[in-house]
Chains A and B, each alone.
Chain A
């Protein structure tokens, strides 16, 4: 990693040069929410003026660039009672501008799942290798809890990371490509003052987190409280719509389906992202559903996110961006559920397992 400092005007010229000639995606304001606040999304950009560098957070996460909603796995060409299977791994190179540290951490978690598991996914790898990531730090929103998950800083997984230090950016350069691009621009060695302001900036970010969740020992609590009634309580609220999984930066569960081409001369096997809250997620042939209740499926999602599963080394895959909480139609957010689980509120004393002393 090489550290440099670039002035904001020079940085804009650099980004402009990048986006002019490459397929680039950056945060843009797409709408205004019901609360009057703007809604941002990663959208195609053609010039630097379209990018909102001071955006808060995007509604959807950046995972869709690596795990698109629909992804063709293979194609079958039919011919005369026979077929041929065709697989393509092509991914056009793209630039992602303005990812937040939690977004980059989420991509790193997806790397662990998709590339370091038993069967690496070539579809994911092709996209990941052909993506140039420029990260930027930000002051958290009131409901972000990245700090609690220890995902508010990022050390790898990006090509270039920019920290805002007043009138310039403190750059962490993590790839030779990024360094080669920057050679053409006026970048300086960081001075002592620059370093001080970076540390100030980091402290400021860390202290700005208003929402905190205590996650230490949570895997154990989740195991112990497996049959706790709080799951039913939150499950009764849950609408099983799957919105949380669609905006989540680390939800990767998918479904594979196959459909014939319109001309019946071939068929396509494609995966599409799925949500474990949808009712038929664990339904097997014959109609038996292993998780028939809303609460079971909600619990499963929390298990996946906060307990971790064997395939990803039992790490917690939640990054604390609270996108699911914002997108939820039934007002379920992780902070409340976990606090409920840890008996932080008096109202939920019901979930203490009954003991002779207390009755």
Chain B
């Protein structure tokens, strides 16, 4: 007969050793990186236009700086402590391990706080997250880059990549459209892209002002200027959501295969790790399966564009 007053001691119930220390994940060692942000110093702030600025960040810890490797098209979560996080696409060169450049528009809560920051301030980044433009797959083909407005920001990483590996690609075209001439970003780099990277480039605006001497209209009008074999061409399209539909359908009519057109989607994001479900598009996550989708997947996914 057992003693009814027997009690099970509380302290050894189910207490796993890692309850008091950091868990050890054998499968995914990067899980720790995604929880803890890399501390960065803002080393430079370049005003690009009235609303956009280019922030240059440097990861302070040398080991973390070496570990932070990304591919063109990926994004990171930028955190301003106390204000929150925002997903920002990386617009610097993948071969530049020293500095990360982010082209940011002052739009919301976090970015407004960031615009108050001075050079030397500390912010935190997590990442990189998401899929990338398949630069290796594009080798030996023409590359058509179409950017609208702020869409030039994610486009800079593939441009830098192409500059680094220019001999692997045939003709490279960059079409860049903006609402107004004053909203055109990175104008100081246009000559560099044309002359150093050998990119055939053309720009267009919708609402010209007195100083504008270039073309006026929709961005698809620029496609007349260049001759290329659509069967041998890959396209990357970045811009506001309304742009995807008419640009991609235009390229489809030209004869570029659907699986060779890539778009970078934009959604609300809170975690970047496929947990919060805020960035769900159709049945996939923008943070895990995106932000780079090929046009076939975008057509296939519900509510994508």
Q: Which of A119, A290, A307 contacts B274 (CB under 8 A)?
A: A119
| B299 at interface, CB cutoff 8 A | no
Chain B hits for A309, CB < 8 A: 277, 280, 283-285
The answer to whether A286 touches B36, judged by C-beta atoms less than 8 angstroms apart, is no
The answer to whether A20 touches B14, judged by C-beta atoms less than 8 angstroms apart, is no
Contact with B along A277-303 (1 / 0, CB 8 A): 000011111101011000010001001
Q: Which of A120, A181, A271, A291 contacts B27 (CB under 8 A)?
A: A120
Q: Which of A177, A181, A256 contacts B276 (CB under 8 A)?
A: A256
In the complex formed, the residue of A with least CB distance to B242 is A288
Q: Which of A90, A258, A286 contacts B81 (CB under 8 A)?
A: A258
Q: Which of A17, A74, A131 contacts B6 (CB under 8 A)?
A: A17
Interface-side segment among B82-90, B194-202, B212-220, B228-236: B82-90
| B253 at interface, CB cutoff 8 A | no
The answer to whether A130 touches B16, judged by C-beta atoms less than 8 angstroms apart, is yes
| B46 at interface, CB cutoff 8 A | no
In the complex formed, the residue of A with least CB distance to B4 is A13
The answer to whether B37 touches A120, judged by C-beta atoms less than 8 angstroms apart, is no
| A332 at interface, CB cutoff 8 A | no
The answer to whether B28 touches A120, judged by C-beta atoms less than 8 angstroms apart, is yes
| A221 at interface, CB cutoff 8 A | no
Interface-side segment among B158-166, B255-263, B264-272: B264-272
| B140 at interface, CB cutoff 8 A | no
The answer to whether B270 touches A256, judged by C-beta atoms less than 8 angstroms apart, is yes
Secondary structure call for the A interface: mixed
Q: How far is the CB of B121 from chain A (nearest CB, A)?
A: 8
Chain A hits for B2, CB < 8 A: 184-186
The answer to whether B36 touches A85, judged by C-beta atoms less than 8 angstroms apart, is yes
The answer to whether A132 touches B275, judged by C-beta atoms less than 8 angstroms apart, is no
The docked-state distance in angstroms from the alpha carbon of A255 to that of B269 is: 9
The answer to whether B284 touches A283, judged by C-beta atoms less than 8 angstroms apart, is no
Q: Which of A21, A85, A122, A282 contacts B9 (CB under 8 A)?
A: A21
Q: A85-B36, A310-B285 are in contact. Are A93 and B13 (CB under 8 A)?
A: yes
Chain A hits for B22, CB < 8 A: 89, 122
The answer to whether A129 touches B108, judged by C-beta atoms less than 8 angstroms apart, is no
The docked-state distance in angstroms from the alpha carbon of A90 to that of B15 is: 11
Q: Say which size band chain A's interface belongs to.
A: 35 or more
Contact with B along A253-270 (1 / 0, CB 8 A): 111111110000001010
Q: How far is the CB of A238 from chain B (nearest CB, A)?
A: 18
Contact with A along B34-54 (1 / 0, CB 8 A): 111101000000000000000
| B210 at interface, CB cutoff 8 A | no
The docked-state distance in angstroms from the alpha carbon of A271 to that of B23 is: 20
The docked-state distance in angstroms from the alpha carbon of A299 to that of B100 is: 40
List which A238-255 residues lie within 8 A (CB) of chain B: 252-255
List which A139-173 residues lie within 8 A (CB) of chain B: none
Q: Which of A118, A131, A254 contacts B288 (CB under 8 A)?
A: A118
In the complex formed, the residue of A with least CB distance to B285 is A311
The docked-state distance in angstroms from the alpha carbon of A255 to that of B275 is: 10
Chain B hits for A288, CB < 8 A: 241
| B302 at interface, CB cutoff 8 A | yes
The answer to whether B275 touches A121, judged by C-beta atoms less than 8 angstroms apart, is yes
Q: How far is the CB of B122 from chain A (nearest CB, A)?
A: 6
The answer to whether A310 touches B283, judged by C-beta atoms less than 8 angstroms apart, is yes
Q: A226-B302, A311-B285 are in contact. Are A129 and B16 (CB under 8 A)?
A: yes
The answer to whether B82 touches A254, judged by C-beta atoms less than 8 angstroms apart, is no
The answer to whether A311 touches B81, judged by C-beta atoms less than 8 angstroms apart, is no
The answer to whether B283 touches A303, judged by C-beta atoms less than 8 angstroms apart, is yes
The answer to whether A284 touches B9, judged by C-beta atoms less than 8 angstroms apart, is no
| A1 at interface, CB cutoff 8 A | no
List which B180-221 residues lie within 8 A (CB) of chain A: none
In the complex formed, the residue of A with least CB distance to B275 is A121
Chain A hits for B289, CB < 8 A: 310
In the complex formed, the residue of B with least CB distance to A23 is B10
The docked-state distance in angstroms from the alpha carbon of A130 to that of B186 is: 53
Q: Which of B10, B14, B39, B83 has the most CB of A within 10 A?
A: B14
Chain A hits for B271, CB < 8 A: 254, 256, 271
The answer to whether B275 touches A113, judged by C-beta atoms less than 8 angstroms apart, is yes
Query: Residues of A at under 8 Å CB distance from B?
Result: 13, 17-18, 20-22, 73-74, 76, 78, 81-83, 85, 87, 89-91, 93, 95, 113-114, 117-122, 125-126, 129-132, 177, 181, 184-186, 223, 226, 252-260, 267, 269, 271, 274, 276, 281-286, 288, 290-291, 296, 300, 303-304, 307-311, 314
A-B contact pairs, 18 of them (CB 8 A): A78-B82, A85-B37, A85-B124, A90-B19, A126-B18, A126-B23, A129-B19, A130-B19, A258-B79, A267-B81, A269-B84, A274-B276, A281-B278, A282-B268, A282-B278, A300-B280, A309-B284, A309-B285
Query: Residues of B at under 8 Å CB distance from A?
Result: 2, 4, 6-10, 13-16, 18-20, 22-23, 25, 27-28, 30-31, 34-37, 39, 79, 81-86, 107-108, 111, 121-122, 124, 241, 266-268, 270-271, 273-278, 280-281, 283-285, 288-289, 302-303
Assuming A89-B23, A311-B288, what are 4 further A-B pairs, CB within 8 angstroms?
A13-B4, A120-B31, A269-B85, A281-B268
